[in-house]
Amino acid sequence: MISHQHLVEEVASRTHLDDTEAADAAVHLVLAALSSRLDPPRREHLRKAVPAHERPALRYGAEVADDSAVSLDDLLADVARPAGATPEQALFLAQTVVCRIAAEDTDLAEDLLRALPDEFGTLFEEPEEGL
């Protein structure tokens, strides 16, 4: 399992966020949006792979889950809206978070890739530098 500090520092560094507080908020946005698209067994697998500090975001995602909002564009909108980001920035942020977690738990990555629609595969690709 990746540590909270390592995850937040990696996200802050890779996304060029000004501080760890902004990176921490970004991690929570991505995890809540992703969690809301998962069934309970996958959500539990994700819960076990993230630090305890991030788990409230997963609970929030479960509470706001909407079966009608299953597209990647919907997930990116859920990340972009509260962050005041563009869809491209939201994708970069989501890829950064998902790839950091998936790198620590390849079984989780495989499980989520099988469970999510094919278009979500892009979340598991390392983002290109530059955003």
| Confidence check: pLDDT of 11 > 90 | no
Among 2, 106, 89, 12, smallest CA distance to 54 is for 2
Rounded-to-10 torsion of CA 54, 56, 62, 66:
-80
Question: Residues 30-81: pLDDT tens digits?
Answer: 999 999 999 999 999 999 999 899 999 988 888 877 665 578 999 999 999 9
Distance CA 2, CA 66 (A): 28
Helix (H, G, I), strand (E, B) or coil at 61: helix
- Report how far residue 76's alpha carbon sits from residue 114's, in angstroms, rounded to the nearest whole number: 20
Phi, psi values for residue 82, rounded to 5°: -70, -25
Tokens of 9: 């520092």
**Closest-CA residue to 8 (of 26, 28, 23, 29):** 23
Q: What is the pLDDT of residue 124?
A: 95
**Residue 120 DSSP symbol:** G
10: pLDDT confidence band, cut at 50, 70 and 90? confident
